[in-house]
């Protein structure tokens, strides 16, 4: 396949996932009413990181994060930086997980790395500058849970997605 065709497929997949992330960002399920809700838009940067690695995850994270920051009721930096980190750390988790011999360990790495790196750390790092440390820590734990749930859904989708799609994305 000519290199230009592969680039077109990658860009098309980035655009498709970015559009899906924007649409899914508006769908939420309350976990703790008024405090935390599961946002389906978090799934997409993680899925992009799993399928296309760090660069693809970061690109989709920028688009979804920008949209999330524009309509967020919280500090706009948290959804912006958080979505970018979700894509980056999912890509890191995919690369690290693929080097492991056992499938169970691979899946655990793919779940934990984006949850901590994309869910907990951005929220803790930004919130600690604006709220008391205990509130920042609790908020970061809630985002860790939210990112973990999104990673579980994204990993399930990745296993269902036809192999030719993930091979095209690399």
Cα–Cα distance for residue pair 107/110, rounded to 1 Å: 5
Class of domain 3-169: mainly alpha
Residue ranges of the chain with per-residue pLDDT less than 70: 1-5, 32, 34-36, 74, 162-170
Query: What pLDDT is stored for residue 35 in this prediction?
Result: 61
pLDDT at residue 82, as a whole number: 92
Between strands 36-39 and 28-32, the pairing is antiparallel
pLDDT of residue 76: 84
| Pair 115, 147: CB distance under 8 Å | yes
- Phi-psi domain of 2 (left: phi exceeds 0; alpha: psi -120 through 50; beta: other): beta
Long-range Cβ pairs for the range 108-115 (8 Å, 24+)? 110/50, 110/151, 110/155, 111/148, 111/151, 111/152, 111/155, 113/89, 114/46, 114/49, 114/86, 114/89, 114/90, 114/147, 114/150, 114/151, 115/144, 115/147, 115/148, 115/151
Q: pTM value? A: 0.88
- One-character DSSP codes across 41-64: GGHHHHHHHHHHHHHHHHHHHHHH
Each residue of 27-74: pLDDT tens digit? Answer: 888 776 766 678 888 999 999 999 999 999 999 999 999 998 888 776
pLDDT attached to residue 168: 54
Q: What distance in Å separates the CA atoms of residue 24 and residue 102, rounded to the nearest whole number?
A: 32
């Amino acid at each position: 396949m000519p290199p230009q065709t592969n680039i077109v497929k990658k860009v098309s997949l980035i655009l498709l996932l970015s559009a899906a992330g924007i649409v899914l960002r508006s769908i939420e399920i309350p976990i703790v009413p008024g405090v935390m809700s599961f946002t389906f838009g978090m799934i997409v940067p993680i899925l992009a990181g799993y399928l296309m690695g760090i660069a693809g995850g970061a690109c989709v994270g920028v688009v979804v994060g920008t949209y999330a920051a524009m309509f967020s009721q919280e500090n706009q930096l948290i959804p912006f930086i958080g979505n970018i980190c979700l894509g980056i750390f999912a890509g890191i988790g995919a690369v690290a997980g693929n080097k492991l011999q056992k499938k169970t360990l691979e899946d655990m790495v793919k779940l934990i790395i984006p949850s901590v790196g994309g869910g907990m750390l951005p929220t803790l790092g930004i919130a600690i500058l604006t709220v008391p440390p205990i509130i920042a820590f609790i908020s970061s734990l809630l985002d860790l849970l939210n990112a973990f749930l999104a990673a579980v859904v994204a990993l399930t989708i990745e296993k269902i997605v036809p192999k030719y799609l993930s091979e095209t994305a690399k």
